[in-house]
Amino acid sequence: MGLKNIDWDSLFSYSTIKIVRIRDKRLGILHFAFLIGIILYIIVGTIFLQKKYLALESPIGSIRTSLQSPSVKPSNLPYCLNNGSDTSYEGYPNKPCQYWDEYLVLYPPSEESSMFITTRCTQETQSTVNGCNLSEPSCVYNTTSSADFYIANVENFTILLDHTLSAPTLGIQYNAIQLEGQLLDSDGNPMSLPPPNIVGVKGSPDIMSLQGILTAAGVESLDSEGLANKSRTIRDDGILILCFITYSNTYTYNTGNYQYTYQFKLVQNTKFKIVEPVFTKDVEDRYIFDRHGVRIIFIQTGQLGQFDFQTMLLTFVSGIGLVTAASLVVDIIATRIMPQRSKYQELKFQDSSIHMEKTPTIDDHTPLINNTDAINNESSYQKNSYEK
């Protein structure tokens, strides 16, 4: 078969759009309903509810924490083992108590986005056996004394929280003291705490007691049942808490209103401890502080938004795509499902019978389309209403 026998017109045929007005109320109402739904989706759903006209960015930031011991130190605490006191509290054995200040309770002294508050400590005094040198492979440490005790009144220690947020792409930067905030419980509902707790007051740093944080995380007290070992209390075993600091300026239609929230979540089936070695004269003599307590990890999250014309334009363009899809669905129904589908197909799809023998010139008045029958048929259809 030679190249001359190929129907080049059919091989490289071009399909163009033909507009046909079909007078059928069923199709018209269906198409109109699609358009109304798309308009409502774009304007109400994406613009007003989802705020798709905003350029969004997840903020980054830094956190600074500070621990302060209470000025009043109560005695005869129920979990402390004192002379003449009970040997147990809430069904768990009592231990001796020591009144540590914030410098001893907090370990390590400074961390980027977390803090550890000691609630119980086992203190051991150790020396190398017979003063041996650690260069000898047989040299080991020997514990000469040991004490296990609770930190008294640690739940009333207060924590200062200072944090900043930044969205570099949007050019947003604030300190928490410039913003309003709110405390949420573990279920995400707003809650408030009694003094000395201060949360979300513009112009004032946030201050929360350890007991206030435990309450926000859903823990009644440090003397509640431990999460990893039911035979011990949280005070005895330790606990891990995640603090989510969420920033937002999209909760209203005014993106100038910035807000942050605290939400403390308990990590189930966990306990926490840190072992701290303290060397005295040399490495042959040391103290070991086996600390159990509350570990708090701060996580900054959220979304900040700013009006962006390109983002809004993309939202409208996606809506135009839905209009095209709606028209395609109506076309399929008209040409494939409706009883008059054969007539609708004839009107919508038409093949030309052009066969170009030569390249037309300006003086050549030969008509390009020789399709009189098709034109006459179309004219007859336009004069009459289409049967339903």
Q: Are 235 and 226 in contact, with CB atoms under 8 Å apart? A: no
Task: Work out the average pLDDT over 66-87.
Answer: 87
Q: How many residues does the chain have?
A: 388
Task: Work out the average pLDDT over 74-93.
Answer: 86
Q: Does residue 231 have a pLDDT over 70?
A: yes
- Per residue in 281-327, pLDDT (tens digit) is 888 999 999 999 999 999 999 999 999 888 888 888 888 888 888 88
Q: Does residue 67 have a pLDDT over 50?
A: yes
Rg of the chain over all Cα atoms, to the nearest angstrom: 39
Task: Give the pLDDT of residue 264.
Answer: 97
Task: Work out the average pLDDT over 112-126.
Answer: 96
Task: Give the pLDDT of residue 382.
Answer: 45
Q: Does residue 379 have a pLDDT over 80?
A: no
Domains and CATH numbers, the chain: 56-307 (2.60.490.10)
Task: Work out the average pLDDT over 84-96.
Answer: 87
Q: Are 160 and 206 in contact, with CB atoms under 8 Å apart? A: yes
Q: Does residue 254 have a pLDDT over 50?
A: yes
Q: How far is CA 128 from CA 12, 248, 381, in A?
A: 93, 57, 108
According to the per-residue pLDDT averaged within each range, which of 6-15, 131-140, 206-215, 342-351 is highest?
A: 206-215
3-class SS string, the chain: CCHHHCCHHHHCCCCCCCCCCCCCHHHHHHHHHHHHHHHHHHHHHHHHHCCCCEEEECCEEEEEEEEECCCCCCCCCCCECCCCCCCEECCEECECEECCCHHHHECCCCCCCEEEEEEEEEEEEEEEHHHCCCCCCCCCEEEEEEEEEEECCHHHCEEEEEEEEEECCCCEEEEHHHCEEEEECCCCCEECCCCCCECCCCCCCEEEEHHHHHHHCCCCCCCCECCCCCCCEHHHHCEEEEEEEEEECCCCCCCCCCEEEEEEEECCCCCCEEEEEEECCCCCEEEEEEEEEEEEEEEEEEEEEEECHHHHHHHHHHHHHHHHHHHHHHHHHHHHHCCCHHHHHHHHCCCCCCCCCCCCCCCCCCCCCCCHHHHHHHHHHHHCCCCC
Task: Work out the average pLDDT over 131-143.
Answer: 91
Task: Give the pLDDT of residue 182.
Answer: 96
Task: Give the pLDDT of residue 374.
Answer: 45
Q: Are 228 and 240 in contact, with CB atoms under 8 Å apart? A: no
In angstroms, the CA 55 to CA 310 distance is 9
Task: Give the pLDDT of residue 368.
Answer: 47
Q: Is the peptide bond before 109 cis (omega within 30 degrees of 0)?
A: no
**Which residue from 235, 240, 206 is spatially nearest to 220, judged by alpha carbons?**
235
Task: Work out the average pLDDT over 248-267.
Answer: 92
According to the per-residue pLDDT averaged within each range, which of 68-72, 85-89, 131-135 is highest?
A: 68-72
- Per residue in 159-171, pLDDT (tens digit) is 999 999 999 999 9
Task: Give the pLDDT of residue 2.
Answer: 64
What percent of the chain has pLDDT above 70?
89
Positive or negative: CA dihedral 41, 44, 47, 48: negative
Q: Which residues pair with 192 in a beta bridge?
A: none
The b/e string for 121-149 (b: 16+ C-beta within 10 A; e otherwise) is bbbbebbbeeeeeeeeeeeebeeeeeeeb
pLDDT tier at 336, thresholds 50, 70, 90: confident
In angstroms, the CA 123 to CA 276 distance is 10
Q: Is the peptide bond before 196 cis (omega within 30 degrees of 0)?
A: yes
Q: Does residue 8 have a pLDDT over 50?
A: yes
